Structure 1
Amino acid sequence: MFDVLIVGGGMVGASLAVALKPLKLKIGLIEAFNFGVAEQPSYDDRSIALSYGSSRIYQGMGLWHKLKNGVENIQYIHISDRGHFGATRLAATQEHVPALGYVVESRVLGKLLYDELSADNTIELLVPAKVFGVEQTADYAQVSLERAGVVDTVQTRLLVVSDGVNSTVRDLLGIATTRREYHQTALIANVTTAEQHRHTAYERFTPNGPLALLPLTEGRYSLVWTHRDEEVAATMALDDAAFLRKLQAEFGYRQGVFTKVGQRATYPLVLQKSVGEVAGRAVVIGNSSHALHPVAGQGLNLGLRDVATLADLLADAARTGADCGDADLLADYAQRRQPDYAAVLQYTDTLVRIFSNDFAPLGHARAGGLLAVDRVPWLRHWITRQSMGLRHRQARLSRGLGLAV
């Protein structure tokens, strides 16, 4: 019998498993694919934007000192609207923090989490395994899974569902979702510019959607370029030179000439939210609960705040010997997370709707808004704290504090 069984070993699920290690609980982690040691970093590594708040969560987990040499810090954020006057500039010095956020290759963070999962026998890894059934009683959840052709069942006091946007286990639990199609696709790649990035991130809004450049190690930028669904194939079909010319026309010359682009990939953009987080002794977190547009880089950071809040409540339960799957504990979790969900989903969705069109009068209003944020300290402070993940109730990990019982 597990105390906590996590389904999904991505960034959020693995982070929760590592966060719970000090609590002396019996923890299991189910993942559909084998974990593996990452190869040497390459130009084409996919990247993750970590908010300053997320860096404090990893600090509380005791991982930040191992990760910080593999990240690039964001000191400045420049926000503009293509074709309109006005911009907003955010700076770490204005908020008295070491950085507004950080950018890290997925493989760097993934390898660190895998090493932590494998460091001792605290966590039982059920890998690779696929879940095909869930049943619940008043005392436990029973999970049916298949490993190497062998069918087995395991039981747990608390089942944590973190197996992604198209979550199989969420569906097995009967938790519905609401979904909004943006009819947009994100094109991602690593690019290099003639000018050094100087720790500056850019969010440039265009009629097709936002275009973001995030500073990476080795002088690179991570590009997230939003396209209308019907237009992305044409951009993907361009050779590198033509691609860079098109990107230059969209972004401009603030960073000089774009000189290199790596491998490109795309993924569709949606807004999806589970209808509730709890079903019996099960709770959904991360992308299984919420999937966002990448504007403002909030997705993974929202999931890591799920981790921090749930770990906080489980630490309290471990201290008193309480049931990890207690209904009151899970209701408390859901209640604590709602304000953050509501604010972030509304924030990102509003940005997409306001900035992803070319209605002329609205363009002038947007320009005025950007100028107002740039010139009004309290408004700039509000936006910056939202971006850094610091506007809502802070769990212990979110304050950089450990969970040792």
Structure 2
Amino acid sequence: MTVRLDIVGGGMVGASLALALQGGARQNDWSIRLVEAQPPVEGGWQPSYDNRSTALSHGSRRLFERLGVWTELARRAEPIRQIHVSDRGHPGSARINAADEGVPALGYIVENAWLGEVLLGALDRQAIEWLAPARVSQARPRPGGYALDVQTPDGPQQLASDLLVIADGGRSGLLDQLGIRRKVNPYQQVAVIANITSADGHAGVAYERFTDSGPLALLPLSGQRSALVWSLPVDVAEAVAALPDADFLQRLQAAFGFRMGALTKVGERASYPLNLIEAEEQVRPHLVVLGNAAHSLHPIAGQGFNLSLRDAMALADRLQQAGREQRDPGSLAVLQGYLDGQFADQAATVAFSHYLTRLFSNRNPALVSGRNAGLLALDLLPPLKSLFARQGMGLRG
């Protein structure tokens, strides 16, 4: 009997899950639908100075190798050869090098538009049915699954789903509709993001700079650009983002320093509030919550998408196993098994991101002294540095 799997949200997490599942679609007699509000644009990617980007860990590279897309993705993924961590106005700093960790790169920065195009281009449209543009306006539990009301340009559709995966982002209206509550821990910060060019280039170095106003990251992009993620207090972020280019660069230079020489160009700026958001339920019978809908993290250590990708691959593995064992992939036992298997990874990654943010956004003099001593120790103790690096790279064991 055909099992109908619906993935709501065709972004990077939803598309990765679909790609991981498509090999078993025919073998397990699965009908997989990807429902996405934005129409797919294939073959339309163009490099842009203003493209948003994502940090991929070394562990995510391994997962994309499993999916068979890394070679194509790597064409425009900029490797991180070194991570430089510092605290503005204090001597503590640490450097983590890929060569010391025995990896070709600690991670990679890739533009979202390119990542999306590679993932969508790898989908087998004989195995994955695309519904885009389309929006699920309502999901109602029914015996053995969910009934979905879907709005499309051709009119409304009603779909029956045996397993519903909600991966439509941190503002998912479906979670509210289904009564799935979310814990929100506000950081009282706003992230200002933009692409930056500097006189000396980035040389493959990702900079994490902690300032009195919050963490600041400059991450290496192709074309000697750097991706800026600047965490600022809520009451100043909007004004800083709206500054004329020259004034913005001057203020950023004062916060960051001259490690890359003079900052010479800034692209279009965007901003969003920073919160730790966690869904209180990630699985129910015939339902999984995935990606930012499940957990949205501070971008300080670039952990959010990498954790979501590991979740997606673990879920795909669990569903494939259920298929081989001829078990219902939507059963609570199967889905709870997936979540139990991911619990330690999720807990460790959320804690790593959250407490790093709290530690380096705090102006308490005692904490400032303690974190600087910690940075010095990190730089001087290779085992501690390696442990920190492996967490950042998404590696276990």
How does the TM-score come out when normalised to structure 2? 0.95
Instruction: Summarize the Cα distance change of 1:2–1:41 in structure 2 as closer, same or farther, 3 Å threshold.
Output: farther
Deviations 1:164-210 (A, max 9, x none): 11112222322111001111110111111111311110000111111
Match of 2:149, SS state, is strand
Count of residues paired in the alignment: 391
Moved over 6 A (4+): none
* 1:397 aligned partner: none
Structure 2 residue corresponding to 1:27, chosen from 3, 23, 32: 32
Match of 2:370, SS state, is helix
Structure 2 residue corresponding to 1:53, chosen from 37, 48, 59: 59
Measured after TM superposition, the shift of residue 320 of structure 1 is 2.5
Higher relative contact order (CA 8 A, sep 6+): 1
Matched, 1:94 2:100: yes
Letter in 2 for 1:316: Q
Matched, 1:290 2:326: no
Measured after TM superposition, the shift of residue 2 of structure 1 is 4.5
Measured after TM superposition, the shift of residue 334 of structure 1 is 1.2
Match of 1:20, SS state, is helix
Question: CA contact under 8 A between 1:191 and 1:258: conserved in structure 2?
Answer: yes
Match of 2:265, SS state, is strand
* 1:203 aligned partner: 208
1:312-331 equivalence runs, <5 A: 312-331=317-336
Distance in 2, matches of 1:33 and 1:190, equals: 24
Question: CA contact under 8 A between 2:45 and 2:114: conserved in structure 1?
Answer: no
Matched, 1:116 2:117: no
Measured after TM superposition, the shift of residue 322 of structure 1 is 2.1
1:120-139 equivalence runs, <5 A: 120-139=125-144
Distance in 1, matches of 2:333 and 2:157, equals: 30
* 1:214 aligned partner: 219
Question: CA contact under 8 A between 1:3 and 1:324: conserved in structure 2?
Answer: no
Letter in 1 for 2:6: L
Measured after TM superposition, the shift of residue 269 of structure 1 is 0.5
1:73-92 equivalence runs, <5 A: 73-92=79-98
* 2:267 aligned partner: 262
Question: CA contact under 8 A between 1:19 and 1:61: conserved in structure 2?
Answer: yes
- % identity of equivalent residues: 45
Question: CA contact under 8 A between 1:187 and 1:267: conserved in structure 2?
Answer: yes
* 1:72 aligned partner: 78
The Cα RMSD (Å) is: 1.4
Match of 1:269, SS state, is strand
Measured after TM superposition, the shift of residue 138 of structure 1 is 4.0
Matched, 1:146 2:146: no
Measured after TM superposition, the shift of residue 148 of structure 1 is 2.0
* 1:7 aligned partner: 8
Match of 1:390, SS state, is coil
Deviations 1:121-155 (A, max 9, x none): 21011112221222223422221212126222212
Which stretch shifts more, 73-82 or 168-177?
168-177
1:312-391 equivalence runs, <5 A: 312-391=317-396
Deviations 1:231-267 (A, max 9, x none): 0122122211111111110001111111111111111
Match of 1:54, SS state, is helix
Distance in 1, matches of 2:177 and 2:63, equals: 31
Structure 2 residue corresponding to 1:192, chosen from 172, 190, 197: 197
Distance in 2, matches of 1:229 and 1:18, equals: 38
Letter in 1 for 2:56: L
Question: CA contact under 8 A between 1:192 and 1:219: conserved in structure 2?
Answer: yes
Letter in 2 for 1:178: K
Structure 1 residue corresponding to 2:253, chosen from 248, 272, 280: 248
Question: CA contact under 8 A between 1:286 and 1:303: conserved in structure 2?
Answer: yes
Structure 2 residue corresponding to 1:223, chosen from 228, 233, 246: 228
Distance in 1, matches of 2:31 and 2:92, equals: 54
Matched, 1:171 2:176: yes
Which stretch shifts more, 186-195 or 39-48?
39-48
Matched, 1:237 2:238: no
Distance in 2, matches of 1:97 and 1:138, equals: 49
Letter in 1 for 2:203: R
Distance in 2, matches of 1:105 and 1:320, equals: 39
Measured after TM superposition, the shift of residue 160 of structure 1 is 0.6
Match of 2:327, SS state, is coil
Question: CA contact under 8 A between 1:235 and 1:243: conserved in structure 2?
Answer: yes
Distance in 1, matches of 2:370 and 2:377, equals: 10
Question: CA contact under 8 A between 2:166 and 2:290: conserved in structure 1?
Answer: yes
Measured after TM superposition, the shift of residue 55 of structure 1 is 0.8
How does the TM-score come out when normalised to structure 1? 0.94
Which stretch shifts more, 303-312 or 333-342?
333-342
Question: CA contact under 8 A between 1:164 and 1:286: conserved in structure 2?
Answer: yes
Measured after TM superposition, the shift of residue 384 of structure 1 is 0.5
